[in-house]
C-alpha cells in the first residue's frame, strides 16, 4: 500500500511532459558495438567506472581521440541540466576527453518538435558547441563514451558549491549570439541603477522532497523592506514562476518592481504540462537563462538556495554584488511528507519550528 501511494505521488508531482511523448528519441545507441575504452587508460579509472558510462565504437574515425557524449534525457530544469553537464566537464578535464553535448538524439524537456533557428540540438538553442566536432562525426568515431542520465550523489548539486564549476560555467559555456543580444538589450534598463534582484521560488518548490524550503511572502516582504531602508535601491528585479508572488510584490512595491514580461508564470506547477504559446519549451529555457544572468547583474541579490540562484552566483557578472540568503532548512525526503511539510512550517510559530 505504501509503495502504491509513493508511486501515485511520484506520478502526480513529476509527470512526464506531454510533448516528450510526441518526440521520438533516436535509436542511435541500438545495435552499436561495445568496446573497451576505460580499461585501456593509464590513469586511475575508479571514478569512471562509478559513472555507468557506455563504451562504444561507431566507426574508424578519430582513433587517437576519446569523445565523451553528455546526455540527460528527459532531464529537469535548465540549471539542473547545466549543473549535470558541468560535473561531467570536470571529468573531461581530468581525463582529457572531448566533451560533446547531445540534446538532439537524446531529447530534454526543452526540445521542440520543429527546429529552432535550424537547430535540432536543444543545446544550440541557447549555447555554442563546446568544440569543433559535430555529432555526425562523433557517431562515426572509434572511441565514444556516453553518460548515464543519473545525477550521482558524488556530483556537486550546485554551481556555487564547487570552486571549479563557476569557472567552467564562465569559460566553457558560451551563450549564443541571439541570447546574448537579448540579454544586453534588457540590461540597458539596469544601466546606472541600483537594482535589487530577488529570486522568489514558488509552485512545485513548496513540495519538492529533499529540497530547500522556499521563503514565505512575509519573509520576502520583510527582507526587502529591510534592504530598501538601508540602501538606495532604484528598482526591484523580481524573478518568480508563481503569478501570485508577482502580484504580491507589485501590490506592495508598485512601480519599483520590474520583471521579464515574457516569462511564463502560473499558480500551478504546469509549465511543462501545457503548451500555451508558440515555441513554449524553447522560451522556458531562454527565460531561465536570461533571468539568471540578469539576477547576476544586480547590485543586491536576495535568494534561497536553488539552481537559478546558484547559476546567478556562478555567473558572477556583478563582481561586488551584496547577497542575502534565506535559509529555511530542507523539506522532508519522503515523497509523502514533503507534500505538506512547508505548509505546516509556514503556519507554525518560530518557537514551534515554524518559518
Tens of pLDDT, residues 301-343 = 999 999 999 999 999 999 999 999 999 998 889 999 899 888 8
Residue 284's nearest CA partner among 297, 273, 271 is: 271
Q: Which of the two residues, 14 and 44, has the higher pLDDT score? A: 44
For 284-288, which contacts have Cβ atoms below 8 Å and span 24 or more sequence positions?
A: 284/78, 284/110, 285/78, 285/110, 285/122, 285/125, 285/126, 286/125, 286/126, 286/179, 286/182, 287/260, 287/262, 287/263, 288/77, 288/78, 288/79
Helices (H) and strands (E) in the chain, counts: 13, 10
The neighbour count for residue 347, using CB atoms within 10 Å, is: 10
Given 146, 167, 199, the domain boundary residue is 146
Instruction: Answer yes or no: is 322 within a domain.
Output: yes
Query: Could you tell me if 115 and 51 lie in one domain?
Result: yes
Residue 73's nearest CA partner among 65, 64, 84 is: 84
pLDDT for 353: 83
Question: Which CATH number do you get for residue 190?
Answer: 3.40.50.11350
Instruction: With beta carbons less than 8 A apart as the criterion, state whether 205 and 331 touch.
Output: no
Query: Could you tell me if 122 and 235 lie in one domain?
Result: no
Residue 68 backbone phi and psi in degrees, to 5: -125, 100
Instruction: Answer yes or no: is 167 within a domain.
Output: no
Whether the predicted pLDDT of 29 surpasses 80: yes
CB-based burial label for 320 (10 Å; 0-12, 13-18, 19+): exposed
Instruction: Answer yes or no: is 20 within a domain.
Output: yes
Query: Could you tell me if 119 and 189 lie in one domain?
Result: no
Residue 127's nearest CA partner among 314, 319, 279, 282 is: 282
DSSP 3-state assignment of 314? helix
Given 146, 161, 188, the domain boundary residue is 146
% the chain with pLDDT above 90 = 76
Query: Could you tell me if 187 and 332 lie in one domain?
Result: yes
% the chain with pLDDT above 70 = 93
pLDDT tens for residues 219-258? 999 999 999 999 999 999 999 999 999 999 999 999 999 9
pLDDT for 18: 53
Q: Which of the two residues, 64 and 209, has the higher pLDDT score? A: 64
Query: Could you tell me if 136 and 247 lie in one domain?
Result: no
Compute the average pLDDT of residues 59-78: 96
* pLDDT band (50, 70, 90) for residue 25: low
- What lies within 8 Å, CB to CB, of 21 at 6+ separation is none
Instruction: Answer yes or no: is 75 within a domain.
Output: yes
Radius of gyration of the chain (CA): 22
Query: Could you tell me if 120 and 181 lie in one domain?
Result: no
Point out the least confidently predicted range of 11-20, 86-95, 206-215. Answer: 11-20
pLDDT for 352: 79
Query: Could you tell me if 198 and 338 lie in one domain?
Result: yes
Q: From CA 293, how far away is CA 311, in angstroms rounded?
A: 8
For residues 15-43, one letter each, b for 16 or more C-beta atoms within 10 angstroms of the residue's C-beta and e for the rest, the string is eebebbeebeeeebbeebeebebbeeeee
Query: Could you tell me if 139 and 181 lie in one domain?
Result: no
Query: Could you tell me if 218 and 334 lie in one domain?
Result: yes
Whether the predicted pLDDT of 10 surpasses 70: no
Query: Could you tell me if 117 and 212 lie in one domain?
Result: no
Instruction: Answer yes or no: is 6 within a domain.
Output: no
Q: From CA 321, how far away is CA 198, in angstroms rounded?
A: 13
Compute the average pLDDT of residues 31-56: 87
pLDDT for 5: 42
**307-315 vs 78-95: helix crossing angle, rounded to 10:** 50
The neighbour count for residue 251, using CB atoms within 10 Å, is: 9
Q: What is the mean pLDDT of the chain?
A: 91
Query: Could you tell me if 182 and 260 lie in one domain?
Result: yes
Q: How many domains does the structure of the chain reveal?
A: 2
Query: Could you tell me if 120 and 241 lie in one domain?
Result: no
DSSP 3-state assignment of 275? coil
Instruction: With beta carbons less than 8 A apart as the criterion, state whether 198 and 298 touch.
Output: no
Whether the predicted pLDDT of 8 surpasses 70: no
pLDDT for 315: 97
Whether the predicted pLDDT of 147 surpasses 80: yes
Whether the predicted pLDDT of 180 surpasses 80: yes
Whether the predicted pLDDT of 161 surpasses 70: yes
Q: Which of the two residues, 15 and 213, has the higher pLDDT score? A: 213
Whether the predicted pLDDT of 16 surpasses 50: no
Whether the predicted pLDDT of 77 surpasses 60: yes
* pLDDT band (50, 70, 90) for residue 12: very low
Instruction: Answer yes or no: is 93 within a domain.
Output: yes
Instruction: With beta carbons less than 8 A apart as the criterion, state whether 239 and 296 touch.
Output: no
Q: Identify the helix (H) or strand (E) that includes residue 342.
A: helix 338-347
Domain extent for 199: 176-352
pLDDT for 225: 97
Strand partners, 146: 54, 69
Q: Which of the two residues, 16 and 123, has the higher pLDDT score? A: 123
Instruction: Answer yes or no: is 233 within a domain.
Output: yes
pLDDT for 24: 58
Instruction: Answer yes or no: is 159 within a domain.
Output: no
pLDDT tens for residues 253-310? 999 999 999 999 999 989 999 999 999 999 999 999 999 999 999 999 999 999 999 9
Amino acid at each position: 500500500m505504501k509503495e502504491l501511494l509513493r508511486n501515485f505521488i511520484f506520478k502526480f508531482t513529476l509527470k512526464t511532459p506531454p510533448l516528450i511523448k510526441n518526440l521520438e528519441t533516436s535509436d542511435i545507441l541500438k545495435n552499436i558495438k561495445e568496446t573497451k575504452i576505460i580499461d585501456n587508460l593509464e590513469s586511475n579509472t575508479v571514478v569512471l567506472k562509478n559513472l555507468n558510462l557506455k563504451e562504444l565504437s561507431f566507426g574508424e574515425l578519430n582513433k587517437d581521440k576519446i569523445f565523451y557524449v553528455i546526455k540527460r534525457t528527459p532531464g529537469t530544469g535548465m540549471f539542473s541540466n547545466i549543473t549535470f553537464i558541468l560535473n561531467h566537464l570536470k571529468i573531461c578535464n581530468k581525463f582529457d576527453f572531448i566533451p560533446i553535448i547531445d540534446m538532439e538524439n537524446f531529447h530534454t524537456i526543452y526540445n521542440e518538435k520543429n527546429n529552432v533557428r535550424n537547430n535540432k540540438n536543444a543545446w544550440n538553442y541557447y549555447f555554442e558547441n563546446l568544440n569543433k566536432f559535430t555529432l555526425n562525426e562523433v557517431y562515426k568515431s572509434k572511441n565514444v563514451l556516453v553518460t548515464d542520465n543519473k545525477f550521482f550523489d558524488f556530483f556537486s548539486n550546485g554551481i556555487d558549491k564547487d570552486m571549479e564549476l563557476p569557472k567552467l560555467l564562465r569559460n566553457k559555456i558560451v551563450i549564443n549570439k541571439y541570447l546574448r543580444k537579448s540579454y544586453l538589450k534588457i540590461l540597458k534598463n539596469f544601466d546606472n541603477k541600483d537594482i535589487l534582484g530577488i529570486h522568489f521560488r514558488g509552485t512545485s518548490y513548496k513540495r519538492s522532497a529533499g529540497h530547500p524550503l522556499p521563503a514565505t511572502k512575509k519573509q520576502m516582504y520583510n527582507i526587502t523592506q529591510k534592504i530598501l531602508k538601508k540602501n538606495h535601491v532604484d528598482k526591484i528585479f523580481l524573478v518568480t514562476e508563481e503569478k501570485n508572488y508577482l502580484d504580491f510584490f507589485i501590490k506592495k512595491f508598485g512601480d519599483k518592481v520590474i520583471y521579464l514580461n515574457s516569462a511564463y508564470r502560473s499558480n500551478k506547477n504546469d509549465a511543462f504540462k501545457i503548451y500555451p504559446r508558440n515555441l513554449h519549451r524553447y522560451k522556458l529555457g531562454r527565460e531561465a537563462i536570461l533571468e539568471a544572468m540578469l539576477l547576476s547583474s544586480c547590485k543586491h541579490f536576495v535568494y534561497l538556495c536553488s539552481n537559478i540562484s546558484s547559476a546567478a552566483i556562478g555567473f558572477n557578472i556583478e563582481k561586488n554584488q551584496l547577497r542575502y540568503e534565506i535559509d529555511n532548512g530542507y523539506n522532508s525526503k519522503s515523497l509523502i511528507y514533503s507534500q505538506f511539510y512547508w505548509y505546516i512550517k509556514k503556519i507554525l510559530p518560530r518557537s514551534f519550528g515554524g518559518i
